[in-house]
Structure 1
């Protein structure tokens, strides 16, 4: 909502209170007379009706209002001028739309979380709230952010000073969170797919539509030295690129180089992973 629209709303709201009227024409007539008597501000009631139609009813296009008129209207609703109204009213409106979470930590708790003692988190329910970039990248919502706070701290105290144990609160938050595989997108982080609700995270990162099977089962095996014939043959796939071999837990495409994966053979496992059986067949 624009600052001028906020001001016109406040002027007619105050005019209705001062006059006891609830119709735009009655309020506009009162304002026209009252503003001339109290602020030496001569403004026609028809002009005020046009302001109402443009900025409150929305029945006509918004019109330009001279700066000195904005100053006079601002003074009527208790401000020094329009600049003062713009600064102060927005701050007051922000305060009305904040949820304050106070984190309280027991005095005898000796841990890194002591640094968060008396921390206050203000979450603004307006367009002014900026989501941190790392939260966008991982698709974190407000409920998930609150869960992270609960896990780091011992308990939470709300504005009514009621103390809630983080254990029970965490269970409630988990119940309301969206499962990762129900998010819209996912991206490869070099080891596995990470779920996100954002279709764009940063340049060079390929965000794709959620595939529940690949999200749950497709991973790169980071400890190749643990692979053996017994645990890897017939259960893993590999990608060979510039004589470098990477192993995966499911069939598909290597997300890092786009090559189609092949089923791991005994020889591939022997050459590029852990020690195998004595009997090695020729590479396929």
Structure 2
């Protein structure tokens, strides 16, 4: 059922973005979950979950279910498995498995609550080893969380991949029809980045490059 949930989430992202690659859909899904469901998970992890190389935690399953317009993962399972929650009498130990599942869920809920408290304390500086990242010229750098200007919660994916770049007509803009350059047009000035998200300076949502933007705004390299 977990794999079915993940596939449904990837399919919904594909309908929204027309992106067909696993990595591309995962990147968009990472952004969607972080911006609208307040949970951080890397695109690489989402691809691993889709390939069943590892298993997602309950909190992520709940958020994916919300993304698919269900109340939570339990609601998704109920509505996609016939809604039959009655233990099967012909399965030895079926009731015990259900009880174990309830205890495991309660334990996970408690652990998630403790993790949330620790995370909040860390961010306000009561725990010194919590990390943030700060925008420096054209990239992010790791830093302590001090509340300085252009400081953001650490996101390893953006730290590794997000760069502000200069482009010209020989720049590679697409890979297998997917945009690999994003842009922001503000006050008639174009800025280009290597990853989706928001412009760190003004907070505006970046847009994937299109051929129209390239034709109208990108200059020949020999003119720069």
Same fold (TM over 0.5): no
Shorter-chain TM-score tier: 0.3 to 0.5
- TM-score normalised by the chain length of structure 1: 0.29
- TM-score normalised by the chain length of structure 2: 0.36
> Whose radius of gyration is greater, 1 or 2?
1
RCO higher in 1 or 2 (8 Å CA, sep ≥ 6)?
A: 2
